[in-house]
């Protein structure tokens, strides 16, 4: 079977762009970038033109770059949905590299005057921010390294600081940094951690970098939303059937895609408004809506689902007691804490979420969604817990999420959470395992977790009822199972 390249690209797929000249460097070459940022950008260039070709870089590995290069930087994005057979080939990448060995190459692109946007999909953990303070986490080993030696950065924050400092020392051309990750105020957070990093550099560099960041860069906030699972062989076979050539790196994705942006681009941007992107002054509301309704519910689906033996999101969503818990969680514990964007109806948005979670063809996994909980959970539950705590309300379903997460990643001695939970990854696994190893009872893990403040802000430690409920559900999961714990949480909602 012929492999997808420029010579073999089929007419049955839509090639959106013909690789315009460089304008963007994107850090993070995973599936989400290739199905979201790259597709919207290719659509904008196809509609309105412009030199907005993307050079991609992956800090940790060169694998994705080598795979892209083998196909002339072409790949397919395939809708995985019962009523869509759309297959797109973005064709927007002009090059790619990865790993520490490519540092000199990517630096040349980052510093290039033609680079007017630097975009990021590096996961929440990649920003090296403290979930307790919201600023730079100077305890992170890669940050300690980069502050000591910026010649070979180990973090994306260090890499950005090195590149922006080099731009400040040379042409001083303006550039926009666009975060496409699930952080509250992701643009403002990126700027804050960079400024705090700059402040720790030697005086001449610290002043120059801070001045450049404040005067020649912009950091628009954004909200991104598309479910993009990992690529499997079944997706390669599906693409082969649809377009008649072999694509080794297709990206499966749901049909739905949303991107909401602040229009704050100091050096210009693609015509994304012609590619389905919504520019809004209410990005904060969209962020909060997604963070609390979609992402918060994803946490419930993944941790309760994993403990219930549900491998995929649809399996969890179609489990009656889990669906009831998700609906009650959104209605009683999330919706009262924020205002929906003026363009969005809450009931319609929630039903659309359940429709997306029902996609059995896509079948995203609970283990993937449940990974990195120590980074994902604080922004999803902190402000809502404090909101309800101040009002004297309890949040049993939020407590259930936290208890189920701990049961998955810090199971007490003698409790087996099952293979799905064991497949979850988390940067705090070593710390959590240490708590579990010292614990005779779940109460010890919960008390240490909140009092030490390494994952959750110490403000939550004052919410005695929340800690009591987390402990209660943690113990009930261990003794009676996750279904019983979920029914108990739902009964508390009913008794209000």
Q: Give the max Cα distance, the chain.
A: 66
The tally of CA atoms less than 13 A away on the side-chain side of residue 384 is 28
Angle at 402 between CA 396 and CA 404, to 5 degrees: 100
pLDDT at 348 over 70: yes
Provide the pLDDT for residue 11. Answer: 64
Q: Which tens digit of pLDDT belongs to each residue from 282-311?
A: 999 999 999 999 999 999 999 999 999 999
In the β-sheet with 93-98, what is the strand arrangement from edge to edge? Answer: 93-98, 53-58, 22-27, 117-120, 175-179, 217-218
pLDDT at 184 over 90: no
Angle at 77 between CA 76 and CA 83, to 5 degrees: 125
Task: Report which DSSP code applies to 455.
Answer: S
Q: Name the 3-class secondary structure at 54.
A: strand
Provide the pLDDT for residue 466. Answer: 97
Provide the pLDDT for residue 10. Answer: 75
Provide the pLDDT for residue 17. Answer: 60
What is the CATH T-level fold of the domain 283-494, as seen in this structure?
1.10.1040
Report how far residue 156's alpha carbon sits from residue 73's, in angstroms, rounded to the nearest whole number.
23
pLDDT at 18 over 80: no
Q: What percent of the chain has pLDDT over 70?
A: 98
Task: Report which of residues 131 and 358 the model is more confident about.
Answer: 358
Between the CA atoms of 123, 125, 127 and 131, what dihedral angle is there, to the nearest 10 degrees? 130
> pLDDT class for 8, splitting at 50, 70, 90?
confident
Q: State the CB neighbour count (10 A cutoff) for residue 409.
A: 24
Report strand pairing: 258-261 vs 278-279: parallel
Provide the pLDDT for residue 81. Answer: 85
Q: Which tens digit of pLDDT belongs to each residue from 256-277?
A: 999 999 999 999 999 999 999 9
pTM over 0.95: no
Q: Which tens digit of pLDDT belongs to each residue from 386-444?
A: 999 999 999 999 999 999 999 999 998 889 999 999 999 999 999 999 999 998 889 99
Q: Which tens digit of pLDDT belongs to each residue from 57-87?
A: 999 999 999 999 999 999 999 998 888 888 9
Provide the pLDDT for residue 312. Answer: 97
Provide the pLDDT for residue 14. Answer: 65
Task: Report which DSSP code applies to 26.
Answer: E
Provide the pLDDT for residue 3. Answer: 87
pLDDT at 153 over 80: yes
pLDDT at 12 over 80: no
Provide the pLDDT for residue 61. Answer: 94
Q: Name the 3-class secondary structure at 457.
A: coil
Provide the pLDDT for residue 484. Answer: 98
Provide the pLDDT for residue 2. Answer: 83
Provide the pLDDT for residue 20. Answer: 79
Angle at 17 between CA 16 and CA 21, to 5 degrees: 160
In CATH, 14-279 is 1.20.120.1200: no
Sequence-ordered list of residues with C-beta below 8 angstroms from that of 315, at least 6 positions apart, any chain: 305, 366
Task: Output the average pLDDT for the chain.
Answer: 94
pLDDT at 369 over 90: yes
The encoded tokens of residue 422 equal 């064991």
Question: Average pLDDT, stretch 316-339?
Answer: 98
Question: Average pLDDT, stretch 159-164?
Answer: 98
Q: What percent of the chain has pLDDT over 90?
A: 87
Q: Assess contact for 148 and 155: CB atoms under 8 A.
A: no
Q: Assess contact for 289 and 187: CB atoms under 8 A.
A: no
The tally of CA atoms less than 13 A away on the side-chain side of residue 328 is 23
Measuring CA to CA, which residue among 102, 17, 18 is closest to residue 57?
A: 102
Report how far residue 306's alpha carbon sits from residue 298's, in angstroms, rounded to the nearest whole number.
12
Report how far residue 406's alpha carbon sits from residue 403's, in angstroms, rounded to the nearest whole number.
5
Provide the pLDDT for residue 13. Answer: 66
Q: Where are the domains of the chain?
A: 14-279, 283-494
Report how far residue 178's alpha carbon sits from residue 120's, in angstroms, rounded to the nearest whole number.
6
Q: Which residue spans within 53-197 are E strands per DSSP?
A: 53-58, 77-79, 87-89, 93-98, 117-120, 175-179
């Amino acid at each position: 079977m012929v492999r997808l390249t420029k010579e073999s690209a089929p007419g049955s797929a839509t090639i959106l762009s013909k690789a315009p000249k460089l304008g963007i460097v994107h850090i993070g070459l995973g599936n989400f970038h290739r199905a979201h940022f790259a597709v919207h950008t290719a659509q904008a260039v196809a509609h309105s033109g412009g030199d907005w070709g993307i050079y991609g870089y992956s800090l940790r590995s060169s694998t994705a770059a080598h795979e892209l290069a083998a196909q002339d930087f072409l790949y397919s994005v395939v809708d995985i949905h019962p009523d869509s057979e759309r297959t797109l080939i973005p064709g927007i990448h002009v090059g790619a590299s990865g790993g520490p060995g490519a540092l000199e190459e990517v630096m040349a692109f980052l510093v290039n005057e033609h680079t007017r946007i630097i975009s990021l999909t590096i996961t929440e953990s990649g920003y090296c921010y403290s979930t307790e303070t919201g600023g730079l986490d100077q305890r992170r080993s890669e940050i300690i390294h980069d502050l000591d030696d910026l010649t070979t950065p180990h973090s994306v924050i260090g890499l950005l600081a090195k590149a922006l400092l080099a731009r400040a020392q040379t042409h001083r051309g303006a550039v926009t940094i666009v975060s496409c990750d699930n952080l509250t105020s992701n643009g403002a957070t990126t700027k804050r951690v960079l400024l705090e990093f700059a402040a720790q550099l030697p005086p001449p560099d610290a002043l120059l970098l801070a001045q450049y960041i404040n005067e020649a860069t912009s950091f628009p906030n954004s909200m991104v939303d598309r479910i993009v699972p990992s690529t499997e062989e079944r997706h390669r076979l599906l693409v082969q059937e649809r377009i008649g050539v072999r694509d080794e790196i297709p990206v499966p994705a749901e049909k739905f895609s949303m991107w909401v942006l602040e229009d704050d681009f100091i050096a210009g941007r693609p015509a994304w408004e012609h590619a389905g992107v919504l520019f809004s002054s209410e990005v904060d509301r969209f962020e909060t809506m997604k963070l609390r309704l979609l992402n918060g519910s994803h946490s419930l689906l993944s941790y309760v689902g994993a403990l219930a033996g549900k491998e995929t999101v649809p399996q969890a969503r179609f489990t009656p007691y889990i669906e009831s818990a998700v609906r009650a969680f959104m209605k009683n514990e999330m919706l009262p804490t924020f205002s929906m964007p003026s363009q969005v109806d809450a009931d319609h948005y929630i039903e659309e979420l359940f429709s997306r979670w029902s996609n059995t063809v896509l079948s995203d996994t609970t283990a993937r969604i449940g990974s990195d909980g120590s980074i994902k959970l604080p922004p999803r539950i902190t402000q809502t817990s404090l909101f309800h705590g101040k009002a004297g309300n309890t949040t049993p379903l939020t407590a259930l999420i936290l208890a189920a997460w701990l049961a998955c990643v810090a199971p007490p001695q003698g409790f087996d959470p099952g293979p799905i939970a064991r497949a979850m990854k988390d940067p705090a696994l070593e710390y959590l395992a240490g708590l579990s190893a010292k614990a005779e009872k779940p109460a010890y893990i919960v008390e240490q977790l909140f009092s030490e403040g390494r994952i959750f802000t110490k403000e939550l430690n004052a919410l005695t009822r929340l800690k009591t409920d987390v402990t209660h559900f943690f113990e009930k999961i261990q003794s009676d199972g996750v279904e019983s714990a979920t029914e108990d949480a739902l009964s508390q909602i009913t008794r209000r």
